[in-house]
Amino acid sequence: MQRTHSPIVFPRWYSVGAALVAVILWSVAPLLAERAHTSSPLQLTALTLLAGAFATLPLSRRVNTTRCSLNWQLGIWVGIPLLILGAVSTYFIGMRLAPAAEAALITYTWPVLFVLLSQWSRFGRIRLAGITGALVAFSGAAILLVPQALSNGLGGATLGYGLALLAACCWALYSWLSQAAPVCITPLLPRLLLIACAIATLASIGMEGQLVLPSSEALLAGVALGLGPYGIAMVAWDKALRWGHASLVGSLAYGVPILAGLLLVLAGVSVLDWRLPTAALLVVVGCLNAGR
């Protein structure tokens, strides 16, 4: 007689707790990235991803992905590492070219993009609340982008803002793939992060020249980034997406830009003016509206 196993049902607070862990760790990421500014962006990316792979190693286990379709196999083993690499590297480069708090705010518009992707994949259309929420959220980003574009053209900080927006798109696609994948991504994370780390290392050698040992402060900050925001936080976020509702979990991530900006201001890295809190408020309101 074959024994059947009922699926495990987790209480809602499991997903909320996991999402909050990810939110807190992500909020520290801009400050840690600023502390590692002496290391080149791609080298810092490789170091961070390597530390993240070691942080998630205890969760590694064999997952049979051969039963998945070819498209999903390519999406898991090629698409996800490239998205992780794109998200981390463009985020680090963007923070070098633009003010840290403002670049972080633009990057953390990704929850609204994730909600829009989830609505499209689930319902075949994007609801009006999602569209208006996205417009409100990106109007907050425009408060930061437009003055720079008018005064400095398409270089400098404007390029940094553009890269921060690209990082947001990569994170949104990564979250959507993690949620929609036919297998759980968490046990695969160590290998996926190592693949992304190998690509980042080759890119660093080819584009930045010889690898140089970073300073002790940059080394510690890079390891901390890998262990926390790009290690434990990614596992917690994947669990939150698997256990909870996408809109509920995604709404918790809307607090990241406010917490991240507050930490940067308190640390003396960024100067508080009217644009940053106004933009943060518009981003949060827009994301909440999109996720209704």
Tell me the percentage of the chain whose pLDDT exceeds 70.
Answer: 80
Tokens encoding 249: 């979990």
Mean pLDDT along residues 10-22: 75
pLDDT 10s digits, 84-114: 999 999 999 998 888 777 788 788 778 778 8
Q: What is the predicted pLDDT for the residue at 195?
A: 96
- Domain-by-domain residue ranges, the chain? 12-291
Is 70 exceeded by the pLDDT of residue 11? no
pLDDT for res 25: 92
Q: Is the pLDDT of residue 138 over 80?
A: no
Give the per-residue pLDDT at 7. 44
Distance, CA of 84 to CA of 231 (rounded, Å) = 12
Residue 290: what pLDDT?
62
8 pLDDT more than 50: no
| pLDDT tens-digit map of 21-74 | 888 998 899 889 888 988 999 999 999 999 999 998 888 888 777 778 888 889
- Alpha-carbon span 179 to 185, nearest angstrom: 9
pLDDT at res. 250 = 67
Q: What is the pLDDT of residue 194?
A: 95
> Does residue 20 surpass a pLDDT of 70?
yes
- pLDDT value at 83 more than 50: yes
Summarize the confidence of residues 153-181 as an average pLDDT: 84
Q: How far apart are the C-alpha atoms of 224 and 144, rounded to whole Å?
A: 29
pLDDT score for 235: 85
pLDDT tens digits, 170-218: 999 998 888 888 888 888 999 999 999 999 999 999 998 877 788 889 9
pLDDT tens readout for residues 245-280: 666 676 677 777 777 877 887 887 777 667 767 777
